[in-house]
Amino acid sequence: MRWLPLVLLTLLLAGCGAERRTLPTPLPAPTTPALSAILAAPTPGPVRTFGYLLIGAEGATLVEGVSFAPDGAPTPLAPGGLWLGEPPPLPAEPPLDAAGAVRYGIVSASGILDGPGRFGPEGRHTYQLSDPRITPLGLREVTIALLLENISLYAGQAVRVRGDLLVSGDSAVLVERLGPGGVPEAAARQIKLDGPVRNDAALAELQRSPGDNVRFGPVEITGVWRGGRLYPLSVRVR
């Protein structure tokens, strides 16, 4: 029976190896700058970041966030972004989403930042990412409770979560439930947003406090969970 522990150890290691192969590709650490930070102070050279990859008939672009039309088509929140040129090679899994002729998804990206200049169709892009290496991040539907109970498990993953958004200036939290006037219910859990909500159209749909300095309402946020906070890349009012 001396061989039995060895067999069990072999099976255990094999099982652990199979589990590791199914784990999602993690995003860089929370210190990795978001695309909005890179574009705010661009420095040509090697970069690593994350954002939404958009692939259309003209080519591929990395943008800092998107809004969605009623038919599901994504539109960049701000003009520009990083021009990638021809769609870079991508793994088969996880697949990108599609809306009409456009494919899109949240990705981790690295390459060489070139610019300023005139890149892409009609020179609309001031910067491009040369030699891009793109890794799509699988999107997961979660709840606020699930994120708070599994902070490390979901670290670096792209997630979609629903709740009530409460925005005051550049600060924002996503709450399980808001009461009258946008006041969080006593037992409601909440998570902080890692960065401002840049979707002005979505903010305009939210309710306003009597003093007009706070906005609130039910939303669906898609972004990246990192450092125990949610970095928003898309906000839809429900």
Distances (CA, A) of 29 to 14, 23, 110: 28, 17, 14
- pLDDT given at position 5: 34
What pLDDT band is residue 70 in, cutting at 50, 70 and 90? Answer: confident
Does 196 score more than 90 pLDDT?
no
- pLDDT given at position 12: 31
What are the tens digits of pLDDT across the range 150-166? 999 999 899 999 999 99
- pLDDT given at position 30: 63
Neighbours of 89 (CB within 10 A): 8
Q: Please give the CATH number for the structural domain made up of 140-237.
A: 2.40.50.140
Does 16 score more than 90 pLDDT?
no
Structure tokens at 182: 């946008």
Q: Which residue ranges make up each domain of the chain?
A: 35-137, 140-237
Does 136 score more than 70 pLDDT?
yes
What are the tens digits of pLDDT across the range 165-184? 999 887 899 999 988 878 88
The whole-chain average pLDDT of the chain stands at: 86
Is the pLDDT higher at 19 or at 208?
208
Task: State how far Cα 104 lies from the chain centre.
Answer: 12
Does 21 score more than 90 pLDDT?
no
DSSP-derived secondary structure for 123-167: G-BSEEEEEEEEEE--EEEE-HHHHHHTTTTTTTEEEEEEEEEEE
| Share above pLDDT 90 across residues of the chain, in percent, rounded to a whole number | 65
What pLDDT band is residue 24 in, cutting at 50, 70 and 90? Answer: very low
Is the pLDDT higher at 18 or at 224?
224
226, with CB counted inside 10 A (0-12, 13-18, 19+), is: buried
- Average of pLDDT values for 208-231? 90
- Average of pLDDT values for 101-117? 96
Look up the pTM and report it: 0.84
- Average of pLDDT values for 63-79? 91
Does 59 score more than 50 pLDDT?
yes
